[in-house]
Amino acid sequence: MDIEKYEYIKNDASLVFQFESVGSNGKVLKIIQFTPHNSNGVTYFNLGFGDWNESAKRLDDLSVTNNNDREKVLATVAATVLEFLGDFPDMMVYAQGSTPSRTRLYQIGIATHYHEISSVLKIYGFINDEWESFRRNRNYEAFLVSLK
């Protein structure tokens, strides 16, 4: 995807990425965290994303930044997913927004850039208690991606 992204840094384990959103509300530290999980013997990584809450010393996935840079932020998150999967090519990444509207935002981003994304990733959506290959115009509850 040829969309402007923020520069980011990652920790030595390639599990935590951070960058600064810069916009109308100033600079806001964003954190992307990949956390391992296991379900029925299958290991995958959950993508956690949000603002860094300095007072609580944790990621806040319910904060609303309103920095007018949504596309750049989502493109940056997508870039970190690709880098993470480059470091862990046999893994899958699970993504679900912290709210239904955020999950919908992820879905819109995937659908908008599906042609580019699907050339390198297998994309699945969770609907009606089942995983299926991603299709446009479906209201998914979550997403799972892996390298092709």
| pLDDT, tens only, 13-60 | 999 999 999 999 999 999 999 999 999 899 999 999 999 999 999 999
**Reduced to 3 states, what is the DSSP secondary structure of residue 51?**
strand
Q: What pLDDT is recorded for position 3?
A: 86
* pTM score: 0.92
Burial of residue 11 (CB within 10 Å: 0-12, 13-18, 19+) is exposed
Asked if residue 73 has pLDDT above 90, the reply is yes
Give which of 58, 56, 31, 36 is closest to 46, Cα–Cα: 36
Asked if residue 69 has pLDDT above 70, the reply is yes
Asked if residue 1 has pLDDT above 80, the reply is no
Q: What pLDDT is recorded for position 28?
A: 96
Using 50, 70 and 90 to split pLDDT, how confident is the model at 82? very high
Using 50, 70 and 90 to split pLDDT, how confident is the model at 133? very high
Q: What pLDDT is recorded for position 12?
A: 92
Measured at the CA of 136, the angle between CA 46 and CA 90, to 5 degrees, comes to 35
Asked if residue 140 has pLDDT above 90, the reply is yes
Task: Share the mean pLDDT of the chain.
Answer: 94
